[in-house]
Amino acid sequence: MTTLETLEETLRTVYDPELGVNVLDLGLIYDLKQDEAGVVHIQMTLTTQGCPLHDTIVGGVRNAVSRLPGVTDVNVDLVWSPAWTPDKMKPEAKQQLGF
Protein backbone atom coordinates (compact mmCIF):
# COMPACT_ATOMS: atom_id res chain seq x y z
CA MET A 1 0.00 0.00 0.00
CA THR A 2 1.31 3.44 -0.92
CA THR A 3 0.84 6.27 1.57
CA LEU A 4 -1.22 9.33 0.75
CA GLU A 5 1.91 11.42 1.26
CA THR A 6 3.78 9.38 -1.37
CA LEU A 7 0.87 9.70 -3.80
CA GLU A 8 0.82 13.46 -3.30
CA GLU A 9 4.60 13.75 -3.70
CA THR A 10 4.34 11.81 -6.94
CA LEU A 11 1.55 14.04 -8.26
CA ARG A 12 3.78 17.04 -7.59
CA THR A 13 6.03 15.69 -10.38
CA VAL A 14 3.24 16.02 -12.98
CA TYR A 15 3.00 19.51 -14.44
CA ASP A 16 0.45 21.39 -16.47
CA PRO A 17 2.76 22.22 -19.41
CA GLU A 18 1.05 25.53 -20.16
CA LEU A 19 1.20 26.89 -16.61
CA GLY A 20 4.37 25.16 -15.40
CA VAL A 21 2.77 24.23 -12.07
CA ASN A 22 2.15 20.71 -10.79
CA VAL A 23 -1.38 19.28 -10.83
CA LEU A 24 -1.63 18.92 -7.04
CA ASP A 25 -0.68 22.52 -6.22
CA LEU A 26 -2.92 23.78 -9.03
CA GLY A 27 -5.83 22.16 -7.22
CA LEU A 28 -6.70 19.83 -10.09
CA ILE A 29 -6.83 16.76 -7.83
CA TYR A 30 -10.20 16.57 -6.07
CA ASP A 31 -9.96 13.11 -4.50
CA LEU A 32 -7.14 10.61 -4.08
CA LYS A 33 -7.26 7.19 -2.44
CA GLN A 34 -5.95 3.65 -2.78
CA ASP A 35 -8.08 0.59 -2.12
CA GLU A 36 -7.05 -2.72 -0.54
CA ALA A 37 -6.28 -4.24 -3.93
CA GLY A 38 -3.72 -1.51 -4.68
CA VAL A 39 -5.89 0.39 -7.15
CA VAL A 40 -5.44 4.15 -6.89
CA HIS A 41 -8.59 6.18 -7.55
CA ILE A 42 -8.05 9.78 -8.62
CA GLN A 43 -10.81 12.27 -9.23
CA MET A 44 -9.44 15.29 -11.03
CA THR A 45 -10.27 18.13 -13.35
CA LEU A 46 -8.43 20.40 -15.76
CA THR A 47 -8.27 24.17 -15.88
CA THR A 48 -10.66 24.23 -18.87
CA GLN A 49 -12.93 21.65 -20.49
CA GLY A 50 -11.37 22.16 -23.91
CA CYS A 51 -7.81 21.83 -22.62
CA PRO A 52 -5.70 20.74 -25.61
CA LEU A 53 -3.29 18.95 -23.26
CA HIS A 54 -5.99 16.72 -21.76
CA ASP A 55 -4.32 13.45 -22.78
CA THR A 56 -0.86 14.65 -21.78
CA ILE A 57 -1.87 15.70 -18.27
CA VAL A 58 -4.16 12.74 -17.51
CA GLY A 59 -1.61 10.34 -19.02
CA GLY A 60 1.15 11.92 -16.93
CA VAL A 61 -0.88 11.43 -13.77
CA ARG A 62 -1.65 7.81 -14.64
CA ASN A 63 1.96 7.01 -15.61
CA ALA A 64 3.56 8.63 -12.56
CA VAL A 65 1.26 6.93 -10.05
CA SER A 66 1.35 3.53 -11.77
CA ARG A 67 5.11 3.28 -11.17
CA LEU A 68 4.75 3.40 -7.39
CA PRO A 69 5.32 0.20 -5.40
CA GLY A 70 2.09 -1.47 -4.38
CA VAL A 71 0.01 0.22 -7.07
CA THR A 72 -1.79 -2.39 -9.17
CA ASP A 73 -3.88 -0.01 -11.32
CA VAL A 74 -4.78 3.67 -11.63
CA ASN A 75 -8.33 4.85 -12.21
CA VAL A 76 -8.52 8.51 -13.26
CA ASP A 77 -12.01 10.00 -13.21
CA LEU A 78 -12.00 13.34 -15.05
CA VAL A 79 -14.81 15.57 -13.77
CA TRP A 80 -16.00 19.07 -14.61
CA SER A 81 -18.07 19.76 -11.53
CA PRO A 82 -17.15 21.60 -9.51
CA ALA A 83 -15.39 23.64 -12.16
CA TRP A 84 -11.77 24.54 -11.49
CA THR A 85 -11.09 28.13 -10.48
CA PRO A 86 -7.85 29.80 -9.35
CA ASP A 87 -9.06 29.80 -5.75
CA LYS A 88 -8.49 26.00 -5.73
CA MET A 89 -4.73 26.56 -6.04
CA LYS A 90 -2.46 26.04 -3.06
CA PRO A 91 -0.58 29.15 -1.85
CA GLU A 92 2.66 27.90 -3.49
CA ALA A 93 0.99 27.78 -6.91
CA LYS A 94 -0.61 31.19 -6.44
CA GLN A 95 2.76 32.67 -5.55
CA GLN A 96 4.45 30.96 -8.51
CA LEU A 97 1.83 32.38 -10.89
CA GLY A 98 1.81 35.82 -9.30
CA PHE A 99 -1.65 35.72 -7.70
> What are 18-58's pLDDT values in tens digits?
999 999 999 999 999 999 999 999 999 999 998 888 999 99
CATH T-level topology, domain 4-82: GMP Synthetase; Chain A, domain 3 (3.30.300)
The confidence band for 72, taking pLDDT boundaries of 50, 70 and 90, is very high
Q: Identify the band that residue 99 occupies on the pLDDT scale cut at 50, 70 and 90.
A: confident
Measured CA to CA, the distance from residue 6 to residue 15 in angstroms comes to 17
Query: What is this structure's pTM?
Result: 0.94
Q: How confident is the model at residue 70 (pLDDT cuts 50, 70, 90)?
A: very high
Closest CA to 42 of 82, 88, 73: 73
Contacts of 9 (CB under 8 A, 6+ apart): none
At residue 53, the pLDDT reads 87
Per-residue model confidence (pLDDT) at position 24:
97
Residue 63 scores a pLDDT above 90: yes
